[in-house]
Amino acid sequence: MDVHGNDKRWLVTLVTSNKVVAPVLQDVVKQGMDKLYATLDNYLNGLPTPCSLQTLTYADVCHLAATPSPASSLKDLNFGNINNNSGVHGKTKTAYNHNVNSLVDLAKLYLPYYLAEFSAFDKSMDLNAALRLLGCRKYPVQVFVSSDPLHDIQPLADDVRDNVRNRGSHFKESDWTQIFFDQCFDKLKALLQYLPLLPAKKKELLDQLSAWKTEGTRVEFNHSTNRLLIWQFSRSDVNSREMEIRLKRAETGFSGITGHSFQRLENIK
């Protein structure tokens, strides 16, 4: 078995997912939440007794649930994730503060508790959370529109989450053959290809993805390179302890001279 090759393919997939793919997903999710927030707020403002997301109460949510509307599904969302509700009130939902004060608050409502720890649509939002939001089917309107009507974003995001992100987070050495590595990059490419991005931005990202695929496994892993990788993932959803173990194996198996080859990849624009 090509142990060191499998380790490298796994590491390159993690780096690419978090360096190339995650930032653009965070931006797309932010745009989608902006659209959803405006849709819900406009509906609430137009009610006979107007309210808003920022003034929402438990009574409002219960009342809205009684009649089918864009806001009727609010009652089923995870309000424990915002305003420190779970921390202060536990499972007593009647005591929750239901005010949705930001796009971040709105996004957290659609996630399980363990993924709702981000503070902005940036590095604090890990790849898993972004993919869950892109794949969510609970929105009352279409939030994320594919650039090609023949391809939906939701199943593409689910495919990346299930078969790239999750398989990378729960490392199994024998999985990371060249064939599986190629399949992971095909899934990442498919998702990027159908995101609602400007053509120039999409081309830039696809070029970066291709460069990491072809050049990433040629990186010589040495001590300085490994420290950089562990630092990069210390605040992500990647199992950093598992990464450290694999990197130590790679470090003993390769005779890298410096981090120059990794730095070349870091500079891909």
Give the span between the Cα atoms of 231 and 218, in whole angstroms: 21
Binning pLDDT at 50, 70 and 90, where does residue 245 land? Answer: low
Query: What is the model's pLDDT at position 224?
Result: 45
Secondary structure of residue 265 in the 3-state scheme: helix
Residue type for position 74: L
Q: Over the stretch 174-227, which tens digit does the pLDDT of each residue have? A: 999 999 999 999 999 999 999 999 999 999 999 999 999 998 887 655 544 444
Q: Over the stretch 30-87, which tens digit does the pLDDT of each residue have? A: 999 999 999 999 999 999 999 999 999 999 999 999 999 999 999 999 999 999 999 9
Residue 2 CB contacts under 8 Å (≥ 6 apart), including other chains: 177
Give the span between the Cα atoms of 37 and 51, in whole angstroms: 13
Query: What is the model's pLDDT at position 72?
Result: 95
Residue 240 has pLDDT above 90, yes or no: no
Residue type for position 3: V
pTM of the model: 0.84
